[in-house]
Structure 1
Amino acid sequence: MENGKKRMALLVGCNYPNTQYSLHGCINDVVSMQELLMERLGFDKSSIELLVDEGPWSKALPTGVNIKNALNKMIDETEEGDVLFFHYSGHGTLVPSKHHLNKKEEAIVPCDFNLITDVDFRQLVNGLPKGASFTILSDSCHSGGLIDKEKEQIGPNTLSPTSQLSNNLGPKHSKPKKIPIESMLNHLASLTNMVESEIGEHLTTLFGDDASLRFCLPELDQDKLFGPHRPDSGILLSGCQTNETSADMPPMGSNGKAHGAFTYAVQSVFKAQQGPLSNREVVMLSREVLEQEGLEGQHPCLYCSDENADAPFLMWDDAQSKIDL
């Protein structure tokens, strides 16, 4: 805590063990991110909560309800000037829009498949008190735009046309952190026994009011809930553009551990830089790291207000610890 302001974090890692969707580096990602937060970014261990689906690090599974409850608890405890951080490493997916032909919406995939969508993150950001900040770092596929209606600062519409190239994961044996919508539907249908139903019908049948607001509320009610777009304190650093995948990398390098490519890139940036870094600098330097690692088709993005684009990442400054990782 600095100047009476709280710094709170929720770190979620889903490896989906013993399933056809298994990943290998997501829990490693959040464990190493916890170290970065404590050693370089001014967070106390007691203010960091981990939710993972294997290993000794958490007391609860990262289900959709558990993740949303933990995020809402963090928001409820937030006061003016507090700094909140949510790191997610796991699968992402794209959900077809019910009302817009050919449009798809971003979502993360908790371990129980109870999707958390861009609308849910928009609701969380709207619940912040004035002067607080909420930074999301999502190391998942299709994560660009994961906060609904947040302004794009770095992404396919703000950079050169080369950033819109189709995805190429690069190094062999890497795995995309995505579950295609067809696979989602097949899995959910096996649980609901509902044939030819939309994904929202499956999820509301399984989870009721605990399903995403995108499926529980009509679109007009969603618009009324959020009101007109306005500058806010939501900050999204996405592992890739909406149309791209983020890589789960096999054990390699000096640490010999599987890891998410974007999480590794962010941590590499902080190892190389001793001074404060803006949100914009973290994303642009992470792009350079991924390109050097051979992942030329994965482009991290930044979504936030103009002011927050150049604000220090997690409000880190020279007064805070400069301990090397």
Structure 2
Amino acid sequence: MANAKKRMALLVGCNYPNTQYELHGCINDVVAMQELLVERFGYEPTSIELLTDGPGSKVMPTGANIRKALNRMVDEAEEGDVLFFHYSGHGVLLNKHHLKREEAIVPCDFNLITDVDFRQLVNRLPKGATFTILSDSCHSGGLIDKEKEQVGLNCPPPRDQTNSKPGPHLSKPKNIPYESLLSHLASLTNLVESEIGTHLTALFGEEASLKFRLPEVDLDQLFGQVHGSDSGILLSGCQSNETSADMPGGPGRKAQGAFSSAVQSILKKQRALMSNKEVVVLARKMLKAEGLDEQHPCLYCSDENVEAPFLLWDVGTKK
């Protein structure tokens, strides 16, 4: 692979304060990742953009603002560049067609960013650049549309999440049920419509996801082919049918996402070069050891990126 020219990162943490969907560890997740990128991976602080919905935030992590920041990274990318997106917040599983799973992340204004949007970003990358997504959210498996699953095939079959038991330490799932999201959006549009896309396009217009703005036949034409050298890399906090845990704070520890915490702990302890696969496998082992045995992190990428170094980091690049 080409040597990295630039390293750029967008880190998004949504706690949804003062709402019924409030979480507690998501901002901590991305603040900790910002420190890790600088100290361990040699990122320049100016190459990292942080978007949170915390007090005093100048730029809120709305759907439009997240898209603008992602598009800006891709527009600036050149051959050999390393792009990184860490998202911590709610996810939602879209049951639009019922026959296939469609995943999305939930910005602070509920303007969903979907698997189709991430597919478009990856397809726009110049040859030799990579785009790694670390998504600590529910239903995050498969968040890059049509990306190949590399770690996850041996997970248990899908199960009913409706009556699932809470994880250890009073953890909270990073999940907004589809029907709850639909009801919330309908209360804003006052439209009698069962399709979530209708509400999103009514509220956000051209800033809504491509998934809802284009007919499915057009989406298939745009994103129907995925090349073997595809440069998208997804480390998901769980399978598409599972939830990711938001762990509350306590004596001696901050509230944090279980997957984000595991990955960061691994990267701090393991000073040697680590592949994308190793990071995910070790995170699985750590979550299981902590009693989170119903959350299975997964890896989605091309065959050539399975054993590639996480963020293409090399010992010689560290400051």
Q: Normalising by the residue count of structure 2, what TM-score does the alignment of the two structures yield?
A: 0.94
Q: Secondary structure at the match of 1:61?
A: coil
Q: Secondary structure at the match of 1:237?
A: strand
Deviation of the 1:226 alpha carbon: 1.7
Contact 1:168/1:296 (CA < 8 Å) preserved in 2? Answer: no
Which piece of structure 1 moves more, 168-177 or 267-276?
A: 168-177
Deviation of the 1:165 alpha carbon: 6.5
Deviation of the 1:163 alpha carbon: 7.0
Asked if 1:70 is matched to 2:78, the reply is no
Residue aligning to 1:288: 285
Deviation of the 1:195 alpha carbon: 2.0
After TM superposition, the structure 1 = structure 2 runs for residues 1-325 of structure 1, keeping only pairs within 5 Å, are 5-56=5-56, 58-98=57-97, 101-155=98-152, 158-159=153-154, 162=156, 169-231=166-228, 232-252=230-250, 254=252, 256-321=253-318
Q: Kindly report structure 1 stretches of 4+ aligned residues shifted beyond 6 Å.
A: none
Contact 1:169/1:298 (CA < 8 Å) preserved in 2? Answer: no
Q: Which amino acid aligns with 1:287?
A: R
Distance 2:292 2:251 in 1: 15
In the alignment, structure 2 segments of 5+ residues that lack a partner are: none
Distance 2:65 2:156 in 1: 39
Deviation of the 1:320 alpha carbon: 2.8
Count of residues in correspondence between the two structures:
314
Percent identical pairs in the alignment equals 69
Contact 2:167/2:245 (CA < 8 Å) preserved in 1? Answer: no
Offset from partner CA, 1:132-164 (integer Å, 9 cap, x none): 000000000000000000000001xx22x5476
Contact 1:41/1:316 (CA < 8 Å) preserved in 2? Answer: yes
Deviation of the 1:76 alpha carbon: 0.3
Contact 2:3/2:80 (CA < 8 Å) preserved in 1? Answer: no
Offset from partner CA, 1:27-64 (integer Å, 9 cap, x none): 000000001101111211000000100134x4210000
Distance 2:134 2:119 in 1: 15
Deviation of the 1:104 alpha carbon: 2.9
Deviation of the 1:96 alpha carbon: 1.6
Distance 1:125 1:196, change over 3 A: same
Q: Which amino acid aligns with 2:69?
A: A
Offset from partner CA, 1:137-196 (integer Å, 9 cap, x none): 0000000000000000001xx22x547667655203110000001110111011000124
Contact 1:176/1:246 (CA < 8 Å) preserved in 2? Answer: yes
Q: Secondary structure at the match of 2:169?
A: coil
Aligned-residue Cα RMSD (Å) equals 1.7
Deviation of the 1:224 alpha carbon: 1.0
Deviation of the 1:253 alpha carbon: 6.2
Q: Secondary structure at the match of 1:106?
A: strand
Deviation of the 1:314 alpha carbon: 0.2
Distance 2:307 2:3 in 1: 22
Q: Normalising by the residue count of structure 1, what TM-score does the alignment of the two structures yield?
A: 0.93
Contact 2:88/2:257 (CA < 8 Å) preserved in 1? Answer: yes
Distance 1:62 1:112 in 2: 8
Distance 1:181 1:276 in 2: 40
Deviation of the 1:122 alpha carbon: 0.0
